[in-house]
């Protein structure tokens, strides 16, 4: 009887693993292809402009490639036609502003560096064959060191960094190649011509074929960020905080918390969009010298408010809760501050998006400020005398303090948006609903709160008008 050796078992096991790997290979490849196709479809559906941009880049490259394919054009430009292809690859960006900024940087830097390079070449020729390379090397060192140092200036780096990089490259190429090439003027002319042709193709296609405007994107981003903050403040999160203190944990969905968090990291995107927007020509409602810098001011103040909201969110979801008797005393004021600040931010966002004056933002922030002032007086007057336990008071006082800070930040955002509306000449629109009227439902928004008509019931609410809604409604009388 033969006994299988360990080597034979190892070979059989290795063969089985290899066989199983090859057997599962088609399924894995199919799953990978399906996953890649799904990701590609999702990427295109998230922003259809990406597909359009890809087609535009392909079109621009195909056009400038004719300098190689079409013999008469190739006879005029020769190998220098490759610079047109390279220009399209490095210049064509997603938005018109980015493309125009890069194209102008490249064209002006090439023109200036080419002229200085030719001047340096002719000046070096005066020093003879031995002195020419020394002087050329000195010129290259001086311009490269100076241009590189200038790139460290923040304003220069933001707008002209690419141009300075091309300036260093072009000057060095013209100066160094001129030492060996006798036809330096013709070489510089061909390279400049092909670069201008490639850059012009990018700019023309970018503007004429479904343009993507960086200024419009910045405009929408600023409005969207304010809407995200309004979504948090208008959500009954403050009321949930007080209810949780009384009734235990709330099971409401907290997915809305993710909205404002994207505002915290929006600075770099806003600054790049504002930089690109300055290069763009007039388009739509965005005229020449549009106040793009004011958008950055609004964005900075929106982020300041988002940081307060982030801290508030942490306290609202903390395990350490205040006593119910303390929460009940400040609930109405905190709820008013949160809701009115959210309404104000939403009104500001709608005004920015529609480029109209946010007419009802001032009354809303005024209501929030009045509630904040009353809350401050209450915290200074009676709370400490009635409850000597500091640990029990701290959670609710912290929430109230953060809401007061949010009201102050909202007021700053309001002032910045109103200044933008003045600088950009936003359209003035009369409000269709007065600030004293509350919006109750979608169909009853134009009716006063004291009279709501239903199909079979008329409810009349008697009572004096409260200066700081929302508050408890009392003395209700129902007529059938």
Give the three-class secondary structure for 372. Answer: helix
What is the tens place of the pLDDT at every residue in 43-84?
888 889 999 999 999 999 999 888 777 777 777 777 777 888
What is the tens place of the pLDDT at every residue in 368-389?
999 988 888 887 776 555 545 6
pTM given for the model: 0.77
Residue 479 confidence (pLDDT): 37
Given a contact cutoff of 8 angstroms between Cβ atoms, the answer to whether 451 and 441 are in contact is: no
What is the tens place of the pLDDT at every residue in 90-146?
999 999 999 999 999 998 998 898 888 888 888 888 887 778 888 888 988 999 999
Residue 388 confidence (pLDDT): 52
Query: Do you find a cis peptide bond into 40, omega within 30 degrees of 0?
Result: no
Give the three-class secondary structure for 77. Answer: helix
Residue 151 confidence (pLDDT): 93
Q: What would the mean pLDDT of 2-31 be, rounded to a whole number?
A: 73
Length of the chain: 480
Residue 452 confidence (pLDDT): 32
Among candidate residues 209, 269, 281, 215, the one with its CA nearest the CA of residue 57: 209
Cα 333 to chain center, whole Å?
33
What is the tens place of the pLDDT at every residue in 236-263?
766 677 665 544 444 455 555 677 888 9
Q: What are phi and psi of 477, to 5 degrees?
A: -130, 130
Q: What would the mean pLDDT of 304-320 be, rounded to a whole number?
A: 84
Given a contact cutoff of 8 angstroms between Cβ atoms, the answer to whether 88 and 64 are in contact is: yes
Q: Which of 279-283, 328-332, 430-434, 469-473 has the highest mean pLDDT?
A: 279-283
What is the tens place of the pLDDT at every residue in 194-240?
888 888 999 999 999 999 999 999 999 999 999 999 988 888 766 67
- Gap between the Cα atoms of 476 and 396, Å rounded: 31
Residue 440 confidence (pLDDT): 35
- Gap between the Cα atoms of 99 and 101, Å rounded: 5
């Amino acid at each position: 009887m033969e006994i299988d050796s360990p080597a034979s078992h190892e070979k059989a096991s290795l063969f089985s693993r290899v066989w199983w790997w090859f057997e599962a290979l088609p399924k894995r490849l199919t799953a990978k292809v399906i996953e890649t196709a799904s990701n590609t479809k999702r990427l295109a559906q998230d922003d259809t402009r990406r597909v359009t941009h890809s087609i535009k880049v392909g079109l621009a490259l195909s056009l400038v490639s004719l300098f190689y394919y079409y013999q008469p054009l190739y006879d005029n430009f020769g190998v220098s036609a490759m610079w047109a292809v390279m220009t399209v690859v490095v210049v064509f960006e997603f938005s018109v502003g980015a493309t125009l900024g890069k194209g102008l940087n490249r064209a002006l830097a090439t023109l200036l560096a080419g002229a200085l390079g030719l001047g340096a070449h002719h000046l070096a020729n005066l020093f003879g064959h031995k002195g020419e390379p020394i002087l050329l090397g000195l010129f290259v060192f001086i311009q490269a060191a100076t241009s590189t140092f200038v790139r460290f200036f923040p304003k220069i780096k933001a707008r002209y960094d690419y141009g300075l990089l091309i300036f260093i490259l072009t000057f060095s190429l013209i100066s160094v190649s001129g030492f060996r090439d006798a036809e330096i003027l013709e070489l510089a002319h061909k390279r400049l011509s092909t670069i201008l042709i490639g850059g012009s193709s990018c700019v023309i296609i970018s503007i004429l074929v479904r343009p993507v405007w960086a200024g419009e994107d910045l405009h929408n981003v600023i409005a969207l960020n304010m809407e995200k903050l309004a979504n948090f403040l208008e959500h009954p999160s403050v009321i949930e905080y007080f209810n949780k203190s009384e009734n235990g944990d709330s099971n409401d969905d907290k997915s809305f918390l993710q909205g404002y968090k994207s505002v915290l990291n929006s600075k770099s995107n806003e600054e790049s969009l504002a930089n690109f927007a300055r290069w763009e020509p007039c388009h739509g409602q965005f005229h020449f010298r549009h106040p793009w810098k004011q958008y950055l001011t609004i964005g900075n103040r929106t982020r300041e408010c988002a940081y307060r909201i982030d801290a508030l969110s942490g306290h609202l979801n903390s395990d350490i809760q205040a006593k119910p008797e303390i929460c009940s005393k400040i609930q109405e004021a905190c709820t008013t501050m949160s809701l009115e600040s959210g309404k104000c931010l939403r009104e500001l966002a709608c005004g920015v998006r529609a480029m109209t004056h946010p007419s009802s933002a001032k009354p809303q922030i005024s209501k929030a400020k009045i509630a904040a002032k009353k809350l401050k007086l209450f915290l200074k007057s009676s709370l400490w005398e009635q409850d000597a336990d500091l640990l029990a008071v701290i959670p609710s006082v912290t929430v109230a303090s953060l809401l007061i800070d949010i009201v102050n930040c909202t007021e700053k955002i309001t002032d910045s948006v109103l200044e933008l509306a003045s600088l950009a000449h936003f359209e003035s629109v009369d409000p269709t609903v007065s600030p004293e009227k509350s919006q109750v439902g979608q169909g009853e928004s134009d009716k006063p709160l004291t009279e709501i008509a239903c199909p079979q019931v008329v409810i009349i609410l008697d009572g004096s008008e409260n200066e700081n809604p929302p508050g408890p409604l009392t003395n209700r009388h129902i007529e059938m």
